[in-house]
A = this chain, B = another copy of it.
Amino acid sequence: MNFTAPFQSITWNQNHLTIIDQTFLPEREVYIDLNTSGQVWEAIKKLRVRGAPAIGIAGAYGLCLGMEQLPDSSFQSFYRESERIAEYLNSSRPTAVNLSWALNRILTSIFAEKDRPVTQLKKVALETAITIHDEDRRLCKTIGENGLDLVSDNAQILTHCNTGGLATGEYGTAFSVILHAHQAGKLKKVWVDETRPLLQGARLTTWELQKAEIPFTLNIDSAAAFLMQQGKVDMVITGADRITRNGDTANKIGTYHLAVLANAHNIPFYVAAPYSTIDMELATGKEIVIEERDEDEVTHFGNKRTAPKKVDVYNPAFDITPHKLITAIITEKGIVRPDYEKNFKSLFS
Contacts and interface: CB of A to CB of B under 8 A. Distances in A.
Q: How many copies does the complex hold?
A: 2
Given A203-B306, A207-B308, A307-B26, A222 B313 contact: no
A187 to B, nearest CB: 15
A307 B203 contact: yes
Interface in A21-64: 26-27
A97 interface: no
Interface in A252-285: 253-254, 256-258, 260-261, 263-265
Interface residues of A, number: 56
A313 B226 contact: no
Interface string A297-330: 0110110111110111111100110000000000
B202 A312 contact: no
A219 interface: yes
Contacts of A220: 196-197, 221, 253-254, 298, 315
Top 6 A-B pairs, shortest CB-CB distance: A222-B254, A225-B257, A26-B308, A226-B319, A221-B222, A196-B220
18 contacts: A26-B307, A193-B222, A194-B196, A195-B222, A196-B196, A197-B220, A199-B306, A206-B311, A217-B312, A218-B307, A218-B312, A220-B315, A223-B319, A225-B256, A225-B257, A226-B256, A229-B320, A260-B261
